[in-house]
Amino acid sequence: MAAKLTRELMEFQSDRIEAVLASHRIPVRVHGGTIAPRWVRFHFTAAPSAKVNSIRNLSEEIALALGAPDVRITRDGEVMAVEVPRADMQTVRLLPMLRKLLAGSVVPPVSACAGLTDDGHPLLLRLPSPDVTHVLVAGATGSGKTELMRSLLISLAATNRQSKLQLALIDPKSRGFAPLTALPHLLAAPAADVPSAVALLNRLTAEMDRRDGRGISSPCIVIAVDEVVDLLMTGGKAVETALTRIAQRGREAGLHLLLGAQKPASSVLGPQLKANLPVRLVGRVGSVEDARVATGVSGSGAEKLTGRGDFLAVTGGCTTHFQAAHVPPADMKEFQIAFRDRSALIGNDVDLE
């Protein structure tokens, strides 16, 4: 019965979308849709003469017609889509995702699980890949930015042994990474102030230079910084120089950055650092301009995301909509118990049940 009601609702909403656009002399045909954890996406094609901006400017009118708080209008080639938030939004738990991944196949080395895409596939980020390397996670308060960073780090630790992966955490507010202090992969206790952050970054740049001289790139070291803008503003040139050097030269030595920021403006991050962050994971932001700055592209619609784990992944000019994986307290306890017994929940020889 639920499937029938969902289909009827989608057919009704499809008709409403077509009617609103037709009333503005923009004939379109809705020809399918997908149901994601947080959105229902309606795919449609418009006449060749239709202007994309004219359609996007009708987002509020479409939302009103559908009884939705807001909608996102996106384009992929000739196909456009209206994304409508679900009334029964679903969450995506990291632990069940990892169980399925490890049961089905071996997760590629040093790959972080970000969440579930709209087409139902896990979104994996293989950090050693040249088109990934370093990751920026951006989003306003309530977007789920720090929760996503924690999930990325936990998934890395869960699928890579200490001999292959090490973590260096910088947490100026001592809140974002607090649940991760028991991970056996940590190089040191999380740096919680500027002097300890600078000391840790200097240690890492020295390690990068040592590896460069010897052609070493293992074990991989993931350097995660929560609220990197705050750290740059308080740490000054020493922090900027160290992070920029790692961003420019880290991949060959096996060092990868995971940086979290609310507003990643170039004036604070520095153009060289920002230019070497090829992957952007962006949650809800406050304005169209904030969306452009965070994603690096125009018209992403990041300002219309619903928050609480609703994210866009932007890389190589391509945008993927996904629901970020999260770790509720009960699952976090299960992870902590498992890590206490072994260095990683790795491969098919480990039962996560």
pLDDT digits (tens, 9 = 90+) for 139-173: 999 999 999 999 999 999 999 999 999 999 999 88
CA distances from 41 to 70, 79, 143, 188 (A): 13, 12, 20, 44
When the pLDDT of each residue in the chain is averaged and rounded to a whole number, the result is 89
Match 């630790």 to its residue by tokens. Answer: 157
Q: Do 197 and 191 meet the contact criterion of CB atoms below 8 Å apart?
A: yes
Question: Is 350 a residue whose pLDDT tops 80?
Answer: no
- Which residues, including other chains, have CB under 8 Å from residue 215's CB and lie 6 or more apart? none
Question: Is 222 a residue whose pLDDT tops 90?
Answer: yes
- Give the pLDDT score at 341: 66
Long-range interactions of 209-212: CB distance < 8 A, separation 24+: 211/253, 211/254, 212/249, 212/252, 212/253
Q: Do 166 and 219 meet the contact criterion of CB atoms below 8 Å apart?
A: yes
- Supply the pTM of this predicted model: 0.88
Short-list 169, 203, 172, CA closest to 186: 169
CA 345 remoteness from chain centre: 22
Three-state SS for 106?
coil
Q: What are phi and psi of 302, to 5 degrees?
A: -60, -25
Short-list 121, 100, 99, 122, CA closest to 111: 122
**CB-side exposure of 211: number of CA atoms within 13 Å?**
20
Over residues 59-71, mean pLDDT: 93
